[in-house]
Amino acid sequence: MRKLVMEELGRLTVGAFRDAAKFPFVIVLDNIRSLNNVGSFFRTADAFRAEKIVLCGYTPAPPHRDISKSALGAELSVAWEKEATTLDAVTKLKAAGYHIWCVEQAEGSTLLQHFDPVPEARYAFVFGNEVEGVADEIMELAEGSVEIPQFGTKHSFNVSVSAGIVLWEFVKKNLT
Check which CATH number belongs to the domain holding 98 and give it.
3.40.1280.10
Task: Examine residue 16 and state whether it is found in any structural domain, yes or no.
Answer: no
The size of the chain, in residues, is 176
Task: Examine residue 6 and state whether it is found in any structural domain, yes or no.
Answer: no
Q: Which residues contact 14 (CB under 8 A, 6 or more apart)?
A: 73, 76, 77
Task: Examine residue 87 and state whether it is found in any structural domain, yes or no.
Answer: yes
Q: Would the pLDDT of 176 be above 90?
A: no
Q: Would the pLDDT of 125 be above 80?
A: yes
Find residue 80's DSSP bridge partners. Answer: 53
Instruction: Convert the pLDDT of each residue in 32-56 to its tens digit.
Output: 999 999 999 999 999 999 999 999 9
Q: Are 167 and 50 in contact (CB under 8 A)?
A: yes
pLDDT at 105: 97
Give me the mean pLDDT over the 112-118 stretch. Answer: 97
Separation CA 148–CA 133 (nearest Å): 14
Task: Examine residue 13 and state whether it is found in any structural domain, yes or no.
Answer: no
Q: Are 37 and 159 in contact (CB under 8 A)?
A: yes
- At 100 the three-state DSSP class reads strand
- As for how many domains the chain has, the answer is 1
Instruction: Convert the pLDDT of each residue in 132-161 to its tens digit.
Output: 999 999 999 999 999 999 999 999 999 999
Task: Examine residue 9 and state whether it is found in any structural domain, yes or no.
Answer: no
Could you tell me the pLDDT band of residue 119, with boundaries at 50, 70 and 90?
very high
Task: Examine residue 143 and state whether it is found in any structural domain, yes or no.
Answer: yes
Task: Examine residue 78 and state whether it is found in any structural domain, yes or no.
Answer: yes
Task: Examine residue 133 and state whether it is found in any structural domain, yes or no.
Answer: yes
Residue 122 belongs to what domain range? 23-175
